Chain A
């Protein structure tokens, strides 16, 4: 009987694991091999060049420029997104007017919850194209709005300005992600007993204080997860950048994923691109480990 059950489990596990192995694990493993070659992706011939790709990587200022941008996203995206999402989520679940009985969200909370989630429903490609048009200097909604309310001076060529393009893309990333975390935090907040909030309310705690001293500590696990998710997203950021700016103007909004793609697809340097990929693999791993370590706190049991 025991044996039969094993076999049963086994038969169901094999197909998905085989697919995973063929389409995920084996390309990963091959990337390590390719990163040691000078393969250019157009013929089956290649030579092993040892660590040459990696030393080249260290001296490639385009890679460093892209990494710098990733680093900024890595810091800014989680902070902005989590702070905004926490603010929205707590407004939606406990931010209602005090003075009335009980703890509730602001008026129309259900409506906002759906609206915040909208961007999550759209694919990255649609979000990218949408915002590209919003930022268009002459026909775009953003400049149209600014001109409409008389702020002509603030109308800018957004994506055409190397000082602004990167931040424009970052704003889109925050916009498109915040909704998911609002819902995530919201769900987590449902598990916080209402009595705690009510007690805080009776003690005369402000909304900001409640958020800081009750919600955040009790949500810490969820926030930690959000942080790791967003960090992984920040290290990638390929799709949105590729669609909105293609890294321009003049590499000012370049990210490492786009650099990898460009070296592989445009310059057909697959060996070098794989080396970037392998370097990123280790970087991502270390960041995940470090961020989990850094945010480790004592769990509060309810």
Chain B
């Protein structure tokens, strides 16, 4: 029995370990992998098939399973299948886009069509800088499926392509059209005889009245305070014109220190200083704070137009959700009160190494048809970037007010994209500055300094690819 000593076992184990490690170290490598040739399936381009889709090529679709669900995508895929009955469509949906798909990008075998969205989206700066995405120009120049005589490009709402454009090339299709503004319950205001304020002075006056009536005038998505950077930038853009947003997107020196941004930050910080914010808001996350708002504990909240579907489950039946533009800061504002931040959101991409990239773009063309877009609006209660696709669809109150507000805003609408160019700048740096501003830790001057410091940090970081827009 003395043969099985402790030392003997350990020696054997060590030897076995070495043997087992050697092949593993040689074979499996996280970074290596399929640099293999990935030929895209290609058929002849014709008038009915402008993208040259091979009709029997399989198509793999991955959808972000978030606020919009996945049913709309299944409907679009059915339309694709109708057009190409021989194509096999593989559909999947996940909330963890990055974790699920990042290895497949490395491997060189990504899906053909991805809804790259949600908190766990794959960083666009990374994707674009590594040439991992297909340039969508062929799709945009293809004729629209059901708007005769127009290219896909010309059927879209103005500015829709901006958020997916990097140095002049369109790499992502931002499909859902989102308006950003200040939300309230129309019924509550009507019942109390209050009017949505058109100027900031009126807003402060109304906040006083609301507070006296025992309600909190405002709340905000405390743990994600960047939501409050939206009205600040909107108000500033209306005060000094949308050029200041261009400067921010292009990381121009001292862009954040523009007087208008300071004025706007100062105006909004008044809400915190005067105690117009629902107590404890800073400790609530977006769901918790929006629920307080839905339950009528606070009157105003800043959000985008996904708010209505996000709050669907907790919205009381009598609640008449409505959006309004930020109040004008002065009578001399460059843009009118009605001007609203409208932007296309919800990005869809076709990876550069997709086996059936043409099929992926064809699916986008189906989404961008009037039929596909109005079906999306019907299923998700959200507008799309296809102009006029919502006509004839019955919309819930919040979305009705969004369409009205967008129409009123017309060509005065504005937008910024620094958040998709440099995710970290909004999600960490501006976010932190907003958090401090609305808990009275810093004032407006310190706020713009902090934001500028964040922007300078990004500008200096050589590991981040820079983009310009015009």
A and B co-occur in one complex: yes
Binding site for B on A (CB under 8 A): 1-2, 5-6, 9-10, 13-14, 17-18, 20-22, 25-27, 29-30, 33-34, 37-46, 56, 135-139, 143, 156-162, 245-246, 248-251, 265-269, 272
Given contacts A14-B16, A14-B19, A160-B222, 7 further A-B contacts (CB under 8 A): A9-B4, A21-B17, A25-B24, A44-B31, A249-B225, A249-B435, A267-B424
A44 and B463 form a contact (CB under 8 A): no
Known: A30-B30, A43-B132, A267-B123. A159 touches B283 (CB 8 A): yes
Binding site for A on B (CB under 8 A): 3-4, 8-9, 12-13, 15-17, 19-21, 24-25, 28-35, 98-99, 102, 105-108, 120, 122-123, 125-127, 129-132, 222-223, 225, 279-284, 288, 292, 423-424, 427-428, 431-433, 435-436, 439, 441, 463-464
Complexed CA–CA distance, A31 and B120 (Å): 22
Q: Taking CB as reference atom, which chain B residue is nearest A11?
A: B16
Min CB–CB distance B202 → chain A (angstroms) = 28
Question: CB distance A26 to B284 under 8 Å?
Answer: no
Q: Are B98 and A265 in contact (CB under 8 A)?
A: yes
Judging by beta carbons under 8 Å apart, are A161 and B13 in contact?
Answer: no
- 5 nearest CB pairs, A to B: A160-B283, A137-B280, A250-B432, A160-B282, A268-B126
- Give the residues in chain B near A1, CB-CB below 8 Å: 3
* Contact (Cβ within 8 A) B284 A39: no
Q: Cα distance A165–B55 when bound, in Å?
A: 56
**Min CB distance, B352 to chain A, in Å?**
9
Report if A18-B24 is in contact (Cβ < 8 Å); known contacts: A30-B29, A44-B108. Answer: yes
Return 9 A-B CB contacts under 8 Å, by A number: A10-B12, A14-B20, A20-B20, A136-B288, A138-B279, A160-B281, A245-B223, A248-B223, A268-B123
* Known A6-B12, A9-B9, A268-B123; contact A43-B130, beta-carbon cutoff 8 A: yes
Q: Are A266 and B423 in contact (CB-based, < 8 A)? A: yes
Q: Are B223 and A40 in contact (CB under 8 A)?
A: no
Closest chain A residue, CB of each to CB of B13: A13
Cα A180 to Cα B280 in complex, Å, equals 34
Complex CA–CA separation, A265 to B24 (angstroms): 25
Q: Is B122 a contact of A42 with CB atoms below 8 Å? A: yes
Main secondary structure of the interface of B (DSSP, over half): helix
Q: Would A17 and B17 be within 8 Å (CB), given that A27-B30, A266-B423, A268-B123 are in contact?
A: yes
Residues of B within 8 A of A143 (CB): 280
B129 to chain A, nearest CB (A): 7
Nearest-Cβ distance from residue B66 to partner chain A, whole angstroms: 17
> How many residue pairs between the two chains, A and B, have CB atoms under 8 Å in the bound complex?
166
Cβ-defined partner of A44 (8 Å) among B20, B35, B131, B282: B35
Most chain B beta carbons < 10 A, residue from A1, A17, A30, A156: A17
- Contact call B284/A136, Cβ cutoff below 8 A: yes
In the complex, are the beta carbons of B108 and A161 less than 8 A apart?
Answer: no
| Bound CA–CA A29/B25 (angstroms) | 8
Q: Which of B30, B436, B439 sits near A34, CB closer than 8 Å?
A: B30
The answer on a CB contact under 8 Å between B25 and A42 is no
A245 CA to B25 CA in the complex, in Å?
A: 37
How near does chain B come to A189, taking the closest CB pair, in angstroms? 29
Whether B16 pairs with A10 at a CB distance below 8 angstroms is: yes
Residues of B within 8 A of A37 (CB): 31
Q: Report the minimum CB–CB distance from A1 to chain B (whole Å).
A: 8
**B8 neighbours in A (Cβ, 8 Å):** 6
In the assembled complex, the Cα of A159 lies from the Cα of B435 at a distance in Å of 12
Residue numbers in B under 8 Å from A17 (CB-CB): 13, 16-17, 20
Q: What's the least CB distance linking A120 to chain B, in Å?
A: 27
Query: Which among A22, A42, A160, A250 is the interface contact of B431 at CB below 8 angstroms?
Result: A250
Q: Which residue of B lies closest to A9 (CB)?
A: B12
- A13, B12: Cβ atoms closer than 8 Å: yes
How far apart are the CA atoms of A45 and B292 in the complex, in Å?
48
Contact B463 A21 (CB under 8 A): no
In the complex, A120 Cα to B247 Cα: how many Å?
52
Q: Write the chain B residue with the least CB distance to A139.
A: B288
Closest chain A residue to B352, Cβ basis: A43
Contact of A5 among B4, B31, B127 (CB under 8 A): B4
Bound complex: CA A35 to CA B308 (Å): 44
Q: How far is the CA of A13 from the CA of B127 in the complex (A)?
A: 43
A26 to chain B, nearest CB (A): 5
Find out whether the CB atom of B31 lies under 8 angstroms from the CB atom of A42.
no
For the complex, give the distance between the alpha carbons of A246 and B99 in Å. 17
Check A160–B130 contact: CB distance below 8 A: no
Say yes or no: A40 contacts B280, CB within 8 Å: no
CB distance from A33 to the nearest CB of B (A): 8
Pair B428/A251 contact, Cβ less than 8 Å: yes
With both beta carbons as reference points, the residue of chain A lying nearest to B26 in the complex is identified as A26
What's the Cα separation between A301 and B280 when bound, in Å? 56
Q: A5-B4, A135-B283, A137-B284 are in contact. Are A21 and B35 (CB under 8 A)?
A: no
- Are the C-beta atoms of B3 and A268 separated by less than 8 Å? no
Return chain A residues, CB-CB under 8 Å to B106: 41-44
Q: Are A161 and B30 interface neighbours, CB within 8 A? A: no
Q: Tell whether, in the assembled complex, residue A161 and residue B283 are in contact, meaning their CB atoms are under 8 Å apart.
A: yes
Instruction: Give the residues in chain A near B30, CB-CB below 8 Å.
Output: 27, 30, 34
* Contact pick for B31, options A2, A46, A135, A138, CB 8 Å: A46
Provide the residues of chain A in CB contact with B20, threshold 8 Å. Answer: 14, 17-18, 20-22
Q: How far, in Å, is A273 (CB) from chain B's closest CB?
A: 11
Cross-chain contact B284 with A160 (CB below 8 angstroms): yes
Residue from B223, B431, B464 within 8 A of A159 (CB atoms): B223
* A27, A44, A265 pick with most chain B CB within 10 angstroms: A44
In the bound complex, what is the Cα–Cα distance between A254 and B120 (angstroms)? 19
Question: How long is the Cα–Cα vector from A251 to B427 in the complex, in angstroms?
Answer: 11
In the complex the two chains form, is B3's CB within 8 Å of A2's CB?
Answer: yes
Taken together as a complex, chains A and B put the C-alpha atoms of A30 and B436 apart, in Å, by 40
